Amino acid sequence: MRTYILKRLLLMIPTMIAITTISFIVIQSAPGDPAKMAVRKAEQAGAVQEGGLSDEVIAQARKLYGLDKPLWKRYVLWLGDLAHGDFGYSYKDNRPVADKIVEVLPVTLQLNILAILIVYLVAVPAGVYSAVRQGTVMDQIVTLGFFILYSLPSFWAATMLLKYLAGGEGLDLFPVYGFESPGYDLLGPAGRLWDRLWHLVLPVTCLAYGGFASLSRFQRAGMLEVIRQDYITTARAKGLTERVVLLKHALRPSLIPMVTLFAGLLPSLIGGSIIIESIFSLPGMGKLSFEAVLSRDYPVVMALLTISAVLTLLGILLSDILYVIVDPRISFD
């Protein structure tokens, strides 16, 4: 297992080089000039006199950002920044990109890890329940309910939750925005934990509900396939209770398709968190990436894409490891 993990980690290096190369070319070729945008913002702030969008001023800004260099040289310089560990400096505020990422990454990880846990804690039991009661009214109700949730756009659901549960036109149960309450630093450990979870209830709900339908259907299909196997029939013939047959003999093999889905769930949730973090004003990677794209802050965009790619590759590796845990017959030795 250790040898396999080491090989996979080494294979991530050429994969990351390919991903970052393609991403860098696409980003640098996108419409919009960061230099012009920076000069325009400086003019609006009064740092540059009216009519400051001259070719000379723009050329100076392009030189400052290194945009006057050939594409291949810019990529080599970016690799140097990556090796240095700071991802370069933001065009927006000239801060090290790594410092900005460190500030927002914990927020996004907490948001997405909680969403993944809730998706699996709801979808797996629901899928098993639907499989055991295949064709019944309850099976149809569970399926219909999850697909109705799946059809709801996340931005609409977030708006409705804020309107009716966060002091809009309904109940004032949850905070409208932010990640922490005023006076958070004065709270004890238990108070901080409760305050953080209280702020995450609505955002996590908006991220998680869309995954209930697809994952529960996969779990239902996996369970139906397993309970039709001969060894399940044999277990029942031996007089084992249905609970023991399902939980001890059928559940574990039926989880294999769910392990496969895990690899793609984290990056998809991170992509979806862009909307959710913006609506709930959460200082996470989604909100930072949205602002970076609008301002053409190339170093920040590249850093976020690189981190997302690393998380995706690690998710795939983790799903392979979970294969062995779920099904001991699988071996990488």
pLDDT value of residue 121: 92
- 256 and 310 part of one domain: yes
CB 193 within 8 A of CB 242: no
Domain region containing 178: 98-326
- 73 and 112 part of one domain: no
The whole-angstrom separation of Cα 219 and Cα 206 is 21
Give residue-wise pLDDT tens across range 31-79: 877 777 777 776 665 555 555 556 777 787 788 778 888 888 889 988 8
pLDDT value of residue 322: 78
The contacts of residue 231 (CB under 8 Å, 6+ apart) are: 249
Where residue 240 falls (left for φ over 0; alpha for ψ -120 to 50; beta otherwise) is beta
214: domain CATH number is 1.10.3720.10
Please report whether residue 27 resides in a domain. no
Please report whether residue 90 resides in a domain. no
pLDDT value of residue 53: 56
Give residue-wise pLDDT tens across range 86-121: 888 888 888 889 999 898 888 888 888 888 899 989
Q: Predicted confidence band at 266 (pLDDT cuts at 50, 70, 90)?
A: low
Question: Total structural domains in the chain?
Answer: 2
- 43 and 181 part of one domain: no
- 64 and 192 part of one domain: no
CA proximity to 326, closest of 219, 208, 243: 219
Please report whether residue 8 resides in a domain. no
Q: Predicted confidence band at 22 (pLDDT cuts at 50, 70, 90)?
A: very high
Final residue belonging to a domain, choices 84, 119, 150: 84
**CA gyration radius, the chain:** 25
> What's the full length of the chain, in residues?
333
CA proximity to 199, closest of 226, 165, 233, 174: 174
pLDDT value of residue 105: 85
The whole-angstrom separation of Cα 52 and Cα 91 is 18
- 105 and 195 part of one domain: yes
- 62 and 195 part of one domain: no
- 193 and 57 part of one domain: no
- 38 and 104 part of one domain: no
pLDDT value of residue 280: 86
Give residue-wise pLDDT tens across range 132-191: 888 899 989 988 998 898 888 888 888 888 888 886 677 778 888 777 778 877 888 888
Percent of the chain with pLDDT strictly greater than 90? 7
Mean pLDDT of the chain: 83
The whole-angstrom separation of Cα 268 and Cα 276 is 13
- 145 and 63 part of one domain: no
pLDDT value of residue 18: 92
- pLDDT at position 253 over 80: yes
- 183 and 210 part of one domain: yes
